[in-house]
Amino acid sequence: MLPEGFLKNMRSLLGEEECALLESALSEEPSGALRLNPLKGNDECREELIKLLGLEKISYEQTGYYFEKDAVPGRRPFHDAGAYYIQDPSAMIPGALLCGKLFENAGNDASYRILDLCAAPGGKSTQIAAAMAGRGILVSNEINRSRAEVLSRNIERMGIRNAIVLNETSDKLAERFGGYFDAIVVDAPCSGEGMFRKDPEAVRQWSEENVSMCAERQKEILENAYLMLRPGGVMVYSTCTFEKSEDEDAVEAFMSAHPDMSPADTSFLKNVAEGCSDGMDGCKDAIRLWPMHFKGEGHFAALLEKKGESERAFPSGGFESASSVGNGKILRTFLSETVDEKTAGHIMNSRDRFRMFGDNLFLMPEETPSLSGLKVLRCGLHLGTFKKDRFEPSHAFALTLNVEDAKLVHRVNEDDAEEYVKGMTLEGNGSGWCLVMLDGFSVGWGKAGGGRIKNHYPKGLRIQG
């Protein structure tokens, strides 16, 4: 049952008739949707997946599709392989706004510094990373530690190389990254009214006091985001609530406090996304998604621009120190035996971006700034671990590779992949590290020898049962 205070607010905002339609929509079954991952596999692999799952195209997101409930994509090993990310269709709108603004007319060499400030569980970060195609640097931050760990796992699962995952407050980041980012997404913590039909806990936790508290917190987060956005940069502010105080009122107050911030045109998305409503009052360029008119949950998104131009700023402290790895011969031997010459060359040519954390080797994104003093969960791509006289590749590394990248590949069908992600040993030929592939998507590593393939799928990720 919906909170009476919420219904009263919606009647005031929408009128009796529209409020009744909203109440009815919130009792219906939500739509299921996902985004295919362009960082993994190829067009042919993805076309086969579209047929297998019976997917229906979403107009406003290049990689987005609706799925029927019986497709159960979250329970299939393609999900573990990072072939797709399950995401509500309305939650794709903020990312589509940012990517449309940045990449629609940009060349293939477009490189940006992008911050996803409230990033967990990773839907918008993985959506933006797909558009970035490995170029530039993506900083994905989440203040809640457990949610930041989920975010980091999703970054890994989707085979993303150029992301840094942080677990920090927005004010601490603002102290470090003043004027640093070309683009920022603020998917602000909110009262969650748009998720009422998917999350009963959001209904139980709703109160007028919580709405007011969220509005105050959003104001602080926006202020810190403003400090980190360079002149000429763009920002997306979004929530999954209907409350005007958290949506249009928040944006208008923010622009009033910062006259150099102004609304950007969103017609490029509204023209292809059926069911989008304009924002209210002075925020007509903003987008409102009502579940009685749009195939998805409730959402609000505004695209803003910061006037002016500036040279790219660098945070105090310069860049992370990076140096050649002392175990370089061991690494080169491993690469020559395991991956193709092009992939090995790319990694070794990027050794100025190597960073050691204990025995673990990371390949940082280009121009990674100083992260000293920050809580870092993931710093680019974890390549693997040095163990005495050998190098053991990471699961994250496997998930960035495609079939042409590995010297030894073991192809599995969906049934075998289900056994693999449970930790079972596979039968197969060859010797040495091999990449386990499901219909063109890498799932993880195995170690081949004696007609068997020892399972190296991480124990903490294995499916039980």
Catalytic residue numbers, as ranges: 240
| Distance, CA of 176 to CA of 155 (rounded, Å) | 23
**Looking at this protein, which amino acid is placed at residue 30?**
P
Name the burial class of residue 20, with classes exposed (0-12), middle (13-18) and buried (19+) by CB atoms within 10 angstroms of its CB.
middle
Query: Which residues is 57 bridged to in the sheet?
Result: 65
The DSSP letter of residue 69 is G
C-beta atoms surrounding 81 within 10 Å: 28
| Distance, CA of 110 to CA of 210 (rounded, Å) | 41
What is the four-CA torsion angle of 167, 172, 176, 177, rounded to 10 degrees?
Answer: 70
419, 462 contact by CB (below 8 A) = no
Residue with tokens 């290049």: 62
396, 423 contact by CB (below 8 A) = no
Ramachandran area for residue 133 (φ above 0: left; ψ -120 to 50: alpha; else beta): left
In three-state form (DSSP H/G/I as H, E/B as E, the rest C), the secondary structure along 213-280 is HHHHHHHHHHHHHHHHEEEEEEEEEEECCCCCCCCHHHHHHHHHHCCCEEECCCHHHHCCCCCEEECC
382, 359 contact by CB (below 8 A) = no
| Distance, CA of 350 to CA of 347 (rounded, Å) | 5
| Distance, CA of 85 to CA of 156 (rounded, Å) | 12
Which phi and psi angles does 262 have, rounded to 5°?
-145, 155
**Looking at this protein, which amino acid is placed at residue 217?**
R
What is the number of residues in the chain?
465
| Distance, CA of 162 to CA of 182 (rounded, Å) | 15
- Those residues whose C-beta lies under 8 Å from the C-beta of residue 324, and which sit 6 or more positions away, are 351, 352, 354
